[in-house]
Amino acid sequence: MNLDERALEIAKILKKEYPDPKTELVHKNEYELAVAVMLSAQTTDKKVNQVTTALFKKYPSWEELSSADISEVQSLIREVNFHKGKADRLIKAARIVLEEFGGELPRDIENLIKIPGVARKSANVITQELWEIAEGIVVDTHVTRVSNRLGLTKEKDAKKIEKDLMKIIPKSFWRNFSGSTVLHGRYICTARKPKCGECVLNEVCPSAELGLSPVQG
């Protein structure tokens, strides 16, 4: 089985195991998802969900957020990592969305990444979660770890990993692969103690054959 064939098999297995993966960021609309995604950089979804309830109550839309006092936003999101910088970018993002995009998020990565706080990974999450549009593959810490362990890439840089994956994963699987690999990395192929005995990818995973020590990443 060559790399392309193994990548396809992995994508099929993950789709069967996770037929409809969804983000664990709590949201009711595109505004709330975008804000939550921006807050989630280098912060767990669980922590983001703990702060967004109060944030969305105080600022329920781009309009309110655009005129927010930065110190108040910082206070509401202080439990997430880099909260001061994120507060500044959230307010700037709200203004850009209103002024340049008429209050609605653009549905393509090229324009989404023009919004402060939205990098390519975040843009991929937004397009896939909101509209099931897959222009690329989400690469976070979980996807990085799982893809390396599966031998799908040797890269550590997110952009290079995404390019490698897009070459070997058929586009029809990009949406599912993104979401399912995040969940698989979060709950099965964990960083310190991967649950290889419970993993549906055992037969196609070179790391499973070698045996992972608890500290291998």
Q: Please list the active-site residues.
A: 121, 140
Contacts of 32 (CB under 8 A, 6+ apart): 26, 52, 56
Q: Could you report how far apart the first and last alpha carbons of the chain are, in Å?
A: 25
CA-based torsion, 163, 113, 143, 184: positive or negative: negative
For 174, half-sphere exposure in the C-beta direction (CA atoms, 13 angstrom radius) is 23
Tokens standing for 108?
A: 């393509």
Cα gap 162→140, rounded to integer Å:
10
With b for 16 or more beta-carbon neighbours within 10 A and e for fewer, the 1-23 pattern comes to eeeeebbeebbebbbeebeebeb
